[in-house]
């Protein structure tokens, strides 16, 4: 039993190590400038307004985490319409590596929304 137990332990250790390396690789991939730009462009298209992301990371428990989100209001002045500390996105993992990016769930953490009003009293 001692030898079998060591083999099972070694296999489990290899599986956990492989999962950690995979998660590290995915994190490095989503933090690359080109992938971040692709995700930012895809989300901007879906929102219909210019969107800026400061940082992206991946965790197994919360999925794709986008930090420092700013959404411009679409006017020429480009004032900030929405700021959020974090977005949490649940995406299909392999859609990160090919198009289209498939988002299953979106959660905003501490959003701040600004609805500007012009001098005529119109809300934008």
SS3 content of the chain, % helix, strand, coil (to 5): 40, 35, 25
Reply yes or no on whether the pLDDT at 12 is more than 90. Answer: yes
Q: 82 near 70, Cβ under 8 Å?
A: yes
Per-residue pLDDT tens digits for 68-102: 788 776 665 667 777 777 777 777 777 777 777 77
* pLDDT top residue among 47 and 26: 26
Q: Give the model's pLDDT for residue 49.
A: 78
Q: Give the model's pLDDT for residue 16.
A: 92
Tell me the whole-structure pTM to 2 decimals: 0.64
Per-residue pLDDT tens digits for 23-43: 888 888 888 888 888 888 888
- Looking at 31-123, list the stretches that DSSP marks H as alpha helix, in order from N- to C-terminal side: 33-47
Closest Cα partner for 57 from 16, 29, 85?
Answer: 29
Q: 96 near 29, Cβ under 8 Å?
A: yes
Q: Give the model's pLDDT for residue 17.
A: 93
Per-residue pLDDT tens digits for 48-73: 878 888 888 887 777 778 887 887 76
Q: Give the model's pLDDT for residue 50.
A: 81
């Amino acid at each position: 039993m001692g030898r079998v137990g060591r083999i099972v332990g070694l296999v489990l250790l290899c599986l956990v190590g492989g999962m950690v390396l995979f998660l590290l690789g995915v994190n490095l991939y989503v933090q690359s400038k080109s992938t971040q730009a692709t995700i930012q462009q895809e989300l901007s298209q879906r929102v219909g307004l210019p969107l800026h992301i400061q940082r992206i990371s991946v965790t197994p428990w919360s999925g794709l985490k986008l930090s420092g989100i700013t959404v411009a209001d679409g006017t020429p002045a480009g004032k900030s319409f929405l700021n959020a500390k974090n977005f949490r996105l649940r995406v299909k993992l392999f859609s990160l590596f090919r198009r289209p990016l498939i988002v299953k769930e979106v959660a905003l953490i501490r959003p701040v929304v600004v609805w500007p009003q012009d001098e005529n009293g119109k809300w934008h």
